[in-house]
Amino acid sequence: MQFEILAPAGTREALVAGVRCGADAVYLGGKSLSARRNAGNFNDDELERAAEYCSARGVKIYLAVNTLCKDREFEEAYSLVSHALSCGINGFIVQDTGIAHMIKNCFPAARLHASTQTSVMTPSGVAALKEAGFARVVLPREMSSSEIKEIADSSDIELEIFVHGALCMSVSGQCYMSAVIGQRSGNRGLCAQTCRLPFSACSKGNYVLSLKDLSLIDELSKIEKLGVVSLKIEGRMKRPEYVAAAVTALKEAMRGNYSNETRNALQSVFSRSGFTSGYFDGKTGSGMFGTRSKEDVVAAAGVLKKLSRLYEKEMPLVKLDMNFDMHLGKEAALSASALGRTVNIKGAVPQKAVKTTLAAESIKSRLSKLGGTQFYAGNVNVDIDGGLVMSASEINDMRRRAVENLSRLKKKTVDLKPLEMPPERIKNTAKPYFTARFSNVAQIPQSHPFKRIFLPVWAKTDDFIKHNAGAELPRGLFGSEKRLVKRLDELKRAGVKQALCGNAGSLKLAVDMGFEAFGDFGLNVFNSVSARLVPHPVLSFELTLREANEVNARDTGVIVYGKLPLMLARNCPVKNTVGCEKCGKKGTLKDRKGKMFQVVCSPYPCVEILNSVPVYLADKFKDVKTDFAHFYFTDESQKQVENIIALYKNGSPAPFEFTRGLYYRGVF
Determine the pLDDT at residue 506: 98
Calculate the alpha carbon distances from 68 to 37, 428, 526 in Å: 13, 24, 6
8 A C-beta contact, residue 634 and residue 472: no
Q: Residue 98's pLDDT is what? A: 98
pLDDT of residue 37: 72
> Which pLDDT score, from 0 to 100, does residue 40 have?
76
Query: Over the stretch 187-213, which tens digit does the pLDDT of each residue have?
Result: 999 999 999 999 999 999 999 999 999
φ and ψ at residue 90, rounded to 5 degrees: -85, -15
- The residues near 392 (Cβ < 8 Å, ≥ 6 apart) are 366
- Cα torsion 663, 664, 665, 666: sign: positive
H/E element, 566 = strand 565-569
Residues of the chain with pLDDT under 70: 35
Question: What are the φ/ψ torsions at residue 599 (nearest 5 degrees)?
Answer: -110, 120
C-alpha 17/C-alpha 13 separation (Å) is 6
Q: Reduced to 3 states, what is the DSSP secondary structure of residue 112?
A: strand
Residue among 528, 506, 467 at smallest CA distance from 604: 506
pLDDT value of residue 269: 96
Q: What percentage of the chain's residues is helix, strand, coil (to nearest 5)?
A: 35, 20, 45
Angle at 568 between CA 564 and CA 571, to 5 degrees: 140
Give bridge partners of residue 500 from the DSSP assignment: 472, 518
pLDDT for residue 608: 97
pTM for this model (two decimals): 0.96
Q: Give the 3-state secondary structure of residue 453.
A: strand
pLDDT at 41: 84
Beta-sheet pairing, 615-616 with 628-632:
unpaired
Phi, psi of 433 (to 5 degrees): -85, 165
Predicted local distance difference test score (pLDDT) of residue 34: 80
Beta bridge partners of 517: 499
Cβ atoms 553, 531 nearer than 8 A = yes
